[in-house]
Amino acid sequence: MASRAAVSAALALLVASASAWLHEEFTTEGNVRAGYDARGQQVASIVLDRQSGGAFRSRRRYLYGQFSVQIKLVPGNSAGTVASFYLSSGEGPGHDEIDMEFMGNTTGQPVALNTNVWANGDGKKEQQFYLWFDPAADYHTYTIIWNAKNVIFKVDGLFVRCFTRHADLPYPGAKPMAVHATLWDGSYWATQRGKVKVDWAAAPFVASYRGYSADACVPAGAGRPLACPADTGRWMRRRPSAAERGTLAWAKKNYMRYNYCDDGWRFPKGFPAECSRG
């Protein structure tokens, strides 16, 4: 049995440090550069060129939590590029995943945020929103709240989407997931449905991440309770309030670009069941 000191040490590590988080919390792959900004915050810059992209993945896997990061997206002509911040249980036909993907665009055109939820290999639940600011001019905060009741997506503290759990429908609640960030060539899909490709003459493309935090639970083993930091109730029981549901409606009315629940061409035999349940 683990000692009380060991358990306390493990819990202390559940909340990531904002000052030096990259190599403490993540492994890196490809072209990822670590540095510091003028305020001493560590910045992880993922670089994409014709030869390679980059990614980082958390060393730990989590089962429920609140995950947040500040991102400054690719400036200028970012068409075809996709930067991401997401959770995944791994690859394979039965994987779980919660996605925030930023679909680049030509200079001056709005960038779209693609959100998606996968459960036991069942995805196709995209909702996309145009960002109402220039996401390359400065850092903005992107947050995923994942608990047993719902998955919430936030931009600069504003609720933009809530995916609600229904007992009889697939939901990502059984598989621990790692945190990922990537920058990759999504020319086949990202911009104007793949019509506009990456302009490699504009490379290298850089997306910068800072201020990462994970307030989250770690599985302690089969048949054992989750190891969670103190005060998990702030997010473990989190549901949108009436005011926050108003924000969800505002985002949907003014900035929604695509909703799978409106795509009759994709679902000719009927929309997924959750579409009619709210």
With 80 as the cut, is the pLDDT of residue 254 above it? yes
Residue 7 lies in a domain: no
DSSP labels, 105-155: -STTSPPEEEEEEEBTTB----EEEE-SS-TTTS-EEEEEEE-SSEEEEEE
* Model confidence at 18: pLDDT above 70: no
What are the DSSP calls for 188-211, one per residue?
TTSSGGGTS---GGGPPEEEEEEE
Q: Does pLDDT of 156 surpass 90?
A: yes
150 lies in some domain: yes
> Does a structural domain hold residue 193?
yes
Q: What is the arithmetic mean of pLDDT over 7-29? A: 67
| Residue pair 117/172 in contact by the 8 Å Cβ criterion | yes
In a domain, 89, yes or no: yes
Residues labelled as active-site residues: 97, 101
Domain span at residue 203? 15-276
Task: Provide the pLDDT for residue 9.
Answer: 42
The DSSP symbol for 212 reads E
Q: What is the 3-state secondary structure (H, E, C) of 147-185?
A: CCCEEEEEECCEEEEEEECCCCCCCCCCCCEEEEEEEEE
Chain length of the chain: 278
Residue-level pLDDT at 93: 87
CATH code (residue 205): 2.60.120.200
Give a yes or no: residue 5 inside a domain: no
Query: Order of strands across the sheet with 26-30?
Result: 26-30, 54-58, 178-185, 81-88, 97-103, 112-118, 127-130, 256-259
pTM reported for the whole predicted model: 0.91
- Distance between CA atoms of residues 169 and 103, nearest Å: 29
**92 — pLDDT class (breaks 50, 70, 90):** confident
Q: Would residue 4 count as lying in a domain?
A: no
**Is the pLDDT higher at 11 or at 135?**
135
The enclosing H or E element of 231 equals none
What is the rounded end-to-end Cα distance, in angstroms, of the chain?
44
Q: Say how many domains are in the chain.
A: 1
Whether residue 2 is contained in a domain is answered as: no
Residue 6 lies in a domain: no
93-120 pLDDT, tens digit per residue, is 899 999 999 999 998 899 999 999 999 9
